[in-house]
Structure 1
C-alpha cells in the first residue's frame, strides 16, 4: 500500500486518529503557535463487493435504491432495506428527510421507531425490513430525499448485538417533476389544539398568545417547506363544545396561493396527513405544532351551501309554502291582512333559530353566552306577562269574552306564541282568509297595548339579538348554518318590525285609530270597527266615539 505520510508519522499528545465513513483517515498533528492541523489520506477499501454504496457491509439493497427517481410518489407506500444476514428490530429510528438548500437544516418528513409495529415490519427470514410510508412523505415533486437509519435500528438475530445504520446523505433518491399542478386560490381551514395545548394557550397573556400564533406559523412554514408569508391567522379562537368536559379550542389558518411554490390544495393535503400522523412526522418535533390535535387534523372551511344544501332547500321550501298560503288566504278574503301568514312564519322561525343558537352555539364564544341567554329569556317572560295582561283586560268586554269563549284554544295558542313576539296577538284580528277566529274584537286600547309591546320588543329583543349575532360572526373560527339563519332571521325581523311600527305610527297620526266599514253583528256589538290594516276593533269603542261626537 502506498503510504502518503512521512515515516514515522508524529501525532499530537493525545494521538488522535479518525476514520471517516468514506474511508478517509484523519491524523492529528502537534499543535504549535496556537495553531493545529491534521493530515488526510484515503484508506484502501477491503470490502470488495460487500459494500453496495451504503457504507454498511450488512446492507445488500434498498427500495428505492440510491439515486433512484420516483415518478409517482402517491404509489410509493413502503420503503425496504434488505440485509445479508438475519436481523431483528431493536430500538432506533429511521428518518426520511427532504433536502432543502434554502434552510440551514433539512426538515423531517417522517420518522419511525423500530418498536412501532404499525409502520415497521420484518420478513419471516429476518432479511428484509419494510417501513410503511404515509402519503405526505414524498409528495413534494422535483425534490431530493434521503433516508437515515440510526445505529441499533436493528440488531443481529444471532448475536443480539446492535448493528450499524446508514448515515446522512448516503441513501439519496429523487422525485420527478410534475408537468401541470392544479391551481387553487387562497383557502383557510381550522385546526384544533389538544387539551394540553388549550390549557397552555389559555394561561398565556395577550402577548404570549400573539407569540403562540407567530411560532405556529413559523413552524408550519418550515414543516411544509413554504414561505412563511403564505400562512396567516386571524388569531381568533373558538371553544369546541362537541367533545367532553375538557375544553379544546379551534384556531384558523389561511393558506395563500403562490405561483412560485406548491399549490394550495397540495399543502392542504400534506397538512391533513402530517397532523393526523403527527407522532411520526415533524409536527410532533416542534414545540408549538406538537399542540395540534391529530384526531381533528386540518379541516378546510367549506362552502355553507355545499355543506348544508338540503337544509337550505328545506328552508326555501318552507318559505314557498308560506307564500302559497299567503296567496290562498288573500284569494279567499282580499280584505284580510294576509301578510299575517308570513308574519307568523317569521315569528316561529326566529324563535326556533334563537333557541337553537343558544343551545348549540352559545358557548362557542364565552363572553356572549350569558347575554344570549338573557336576551332570549327576558323578552319571553316580558312578552308572555304582557300578553296575559292584554287578554285579561280584553275579557272585561262582553263581545271579546263571547269570542274568547268560542275560540279559547286559538287564543291560548297565540298567547304562548306571543312570548316569542307580542305581535303574534295582532294576528288574532287580522281577518286572515276570513276565518272567524281571526276576527277578534280587540279594543283600541288593546291594540295600543300590542303596539306598545312590539315597540318595546324591538329594543328588548330584536336589536340585542342582532348585535349578539354580529359579534358572534366576528369572533368565531367556524361558522355554521344555525348562526347564519339566526343572523338572517334577526336582521329580517328587526327590519320588518321597525318599518311596520313606523308605518303604524304614521297611520295613527294621519288617520286616527279607525275607519268605518259595515259588518254584521256577531258578538253582540252593533258594528265592527275596521282598522286601516283590515282588522276589526272593539264595538264598544265605536259607541264611545259616537257619543263623544254627539
Structure 2
C-alpha cells in the first residue's frame, strides 16, 4: 500500500457542504498520470452510487495540485451537499505514477475510504410548511453555440425529449427526485450576448418541496449553478443533453415579482391611488346623501301631513341608496382594474409580442394585413418609417422608467373604463412620453371584451338601480334623468362592441 495518510480520514464525520481540499499523502514522490479520482455518494446498494465529482490530474489542473508526495483536490460546494449521507472516494489505478520510474501506482476501490456528513439540524415545522407553498423557483440555462446548432436540427418531438433528458440529468446530478426539476419546454434566443451566432436560453424550474424532509429549493438552485459552472468535473459533462450547457452562464434564477423593489414600489403606489379614489367616491356619495337628508327634513317640516313612519322609511331608503351606490362604484372598478392588469401582463408575456420572439417572426407574415398591402401599394415611405418605429410594450417599458409610471396611471384609469388602454394603438408623442407601442390583435380584442364586461357589471346594474329609484322619487332634476340616459347609451354600444369584436377576430384569422 503506497498511501500513508488521507484527509478526511477513513470513517471521519464532516460537515455537509464542506469545501476543505481532499488530500492524499503517498509514501513516495509521485506525478499525475492518466487515471481519475471519483467521489461518490452512497445510495445504499452495491453499485458505485451517485457521482459527485471526478478529477483527472492531467486534464483538470485547475482543481488538483501535488507537492512531492501529496495530492490536494479542490472540492466544490455541491459535492458533499446532503446531510447525514455516506460518501466514499474511488481512485483508479494509474491516477498517479512514481516520480522515479513513472510506474503506475494502484488505487483504491470498493468502500475503503469513506466518510459521512453530519445530520441536518431540525427545522421549525411551522416555517418549513409555509415555505413549501412559496419555494418554487423559475430559472434558465444557456446552450453553447454547438448545443444551439444541434438544438436547431431537432423537430418538436425531439425537442421535448431533449428537455425531458435534460431535467432528468440535472435531477440526477444534484441528487433529487425528477419531480423537483421540471420544465415548460420554452426556449428563446439570448439577446444579451454580443455574438453573430445565436444561443438559446432554456426554461428550467425547480419545484417546491413536497414534504418537510425534502431539500430546500434555494440549496438545489445553488448546487445546480455550481455544478454547471464546474461541468468539467461533474457528471453533467457526460449527459446526452446536459453536455450542451454553457458553463459560464450557470443556472440563472428569474426573480419573483415581489423580489423586485421597483415592482413593490409600483404596487404600493397603485394601492394608494386606488384607496384615494375609493375614499373620494365614498366621501362624494356620503356628502350627496347628507344633502338628500337635509332636503327630506325640509320637506317633512313643510308637509305636516307626513307621519313619523314615512319619515323612517325615507331615511332607510337613503341608507340603502348610499350602500348600493358604494357597491356599484367600487366593485366594478376593482373588477375592471384587475382585468386591465390581466391583459397588460398577458401582453408582456405574449409570445407574439415578446422581445425575444419578435426577432423570430417572419417579416412577410405582416404583409397579409390588408392595410399594410394598401400602404405598400401607395408607396408611402413616411408610413413605413413610422411602422418601423413601433416597439413591443416590454421594450417600451424598458426605454424609460417614466413609462412604467404612465402605465400604472393608465391601468388605474382603466378601472373606470378599460377603453383607456386603446391609447397604445396610436403612434404619437405627448410632452416627453412617446406612445409607439406595437400591440397584438389579442390585446385589441381583450380591450373590447373588457369594455363589454364593464357595461354588464357597471352600466346595466346602474341603469336598473336608477330607474327603480326614479320610479319612487317625488321630483328630480335633469341630472337624475341624464345619468340613466348615459347608461342606456353605453348599453346600446354593446352592439358596436360585438361588431368590432367580430371584425378583429376575422381580421386576426
TM-score bracket relative to the smaller structure: 0.5 to 0.7
Query: What SS class does the counterpart of residue 169 from structure 2 fall into?
Result: helix
In structure 2, the residue matched to 1:187 is: 136
Pick the aligned partner of 1:95 from 23, 38, 48: 38
Check 1:328–1:152 CA distance in 2 against 1; reply closer, same or farther (3 A cut): same
Check 1:104–1:191 CA distance in 2 against 1; reply closer, same or farther (3 A cut): farther
In structure 2, the residue matched to 1:140 is: 82
- Counterpart check, 1:281 vs 2:231: no
CA RMSD of aligned residues (A): 5.7
Q: Is the contact between residue 352 and residue 440 of structure 2 (CA under 8 Å) also seen in structure 1? A: no
In structure 1, the residue matched to 2:264 is: 312
- More deviation, 311-320/203-212: 311-320
1:133 is displaced (CA, Å) by 0.4
Pick the aligned partner of 1:227 from 165, 177, 185: 177
Q: Is the contact between residue 17 and residue 82 of structure 2 (CA under 8 Å) also seen in structure 1? A: no
Partner Cα separation in structure 1 for residue 448 and residue 118 of structure 2 = 53
Query: What SS class does the counterpart of residue 237 from structure 2 fall into?
Result: helix
Pick the aligned partner of 1:291 from 244, 252, 256: 244
Q: Deviations over 1:174-203 (max 9, x none)?
A: 213415455552624323131333332332
Q: Is the contact between residue 11 and residue 113 of structure 2 (CA under 8 Å) also seen in structure 1? A: yes
In structure 2, the residue matched to 1:66 is: 10
Pick the aligned partner of 1:248 from 197, 200, 217: 200
1:493 is displaced (CA, Å) by 8.3
Structure 1 segment 30-41 matched on structure 2, within 5 A? none
Check 1:497–1:111 CA distance in 2 against 1; reply closer, same or farther (3 A cut): farther
Partner Cα separation in structure 1 for residue 344 and residue 39 of structure 2 = 54
In structure 1, the residue matched to 2:403 is: none
State the structure with more CA Rg. 1
- More deviation, 220-229/107-116: 220-229
Structure 1 segment 282-361 matched on structure 2, within 5 A? 282-305=235-258, 307-314=259-266, 316-317=268-269, 320=272
Q: Deviations over 1:401-460 (max 9, x none)?
A: xxxxxxxxxxxxxxxx9xx99xx9xxxxxxxxxxxxxxxxxxxxxxxxxx9xx7995997
Partner Cα separation in structure 1 for residue 141 and residue 450 of structure 2 = 34
Partner Cα separation in structure 1 for residue 232 and residue 444 of structure 2 = 39
Paired residues in the alignment total 366
1:102 is displaced (CA, Å) by 4.9
1:96 is displaced (CA, Å) by 1.1
Query: What SS class does the counterpart of residue 135 from structure 1 fall into?
Result: coil
Q: Is the contact between residue 8 and residue 115 of structure 2 (CA under 8 Å) also seen in structure 1? A: no
1:169 is displaced (CA, Å) by 1.7
Check 1:180–1:192 CA distance in 2 against 1; reply closer, same or farther (3 A cut): same
Pick the aligned partner of 1:216 from 166, 185, 190: 166
Query: What SS class does the counterpart of residue 96 from structure 1 fall into?
Result: strand
Partner Cα separation in structure 2 for residue 255 and residue 206 of structure 1 = 24
Q: Is the contact between residue 148 and residue 165 of structure 1 (CA under 8 Å) also seen in structure 2? A: no
Partner Cα separation in structure 2 for residue 134 and residue 212 of structure 1 = 27
Check 1:203–1:493 CA distance in 2 against 1; reply closer, same or farther (3 A cut): farther
Q: Is the contact between residue 201 and residue 209 of structure 1 (CA under 8 Å) also seen in structure 2? A: yes
- Counterpart check, 1:204 vs 2:154: yes
Q: Is the contact between residue 141 and residue 245 of structure 2 (CA under 8 Å) also seen in structure 1? A: yes
Partner Cα separation in structure 1 for residue 17 and residue 4 of structure 2 = 26
Q: Deviations over 1:143-197 (max 9, x none)?
A: 32222233443333334x1431413225421213415455552624323131333
Query: What SS class does the counterpart of residue 78 from structure 2 fall into?
Result: coil
1:312 is displaced (CA, Å) by 3.0
Q: Is the contact between residue 147 and residue 244 of structure 2 (CA under 8 Å) also seen in structure 1? A: yes
Pick the aligned partner of 2:356 from 361, 364, 376: 364
Structure 2 portions without partners, runs of 5+: 289-328, 372-405, 427-436, 465-476, 487-509
Structure with greater helix percent: 2
Q: Is the contact between residue 272 and residue 297 of structure 1 (CA under 8 Å) also seen in structure 2? A: yes
Check 1:363–1:314 CA distance in 2 against 1; reply closer, same or farther (3 A cut): closer
- Counterpart check, 1:271 vs 2:224: yes
In structure 1, the residue matched to 2:209 is: 257
Partner Cα separation in structure 1 for residue 191 and residue 121 of structure 2 = 42
Partner Cα separation in structure 2 for residue 85 and residue 327 of structure 1 = 85
Partner Cα separation in structure 2 for residue 210 and residue 356 of structure 1 = 25
Partner Cα separation in structure 2 for residue 198 and residue 103 of structure 1 = 38
- Counterpart check, 1:106 vs 2:49: yes
Pick the aligned partner of 2:26 from 65, 83, 103: 83
Check 1:212–1:369 CA distance in 2 against 1; reply closer, same or farther (3 A cut): same
Partner Cα separation in structure 2 for residue 139 and residue 469 of structure 1 = 51
Partner Cα separation in structure 2 for residue 316 and residue 490 of structure 1 = 28
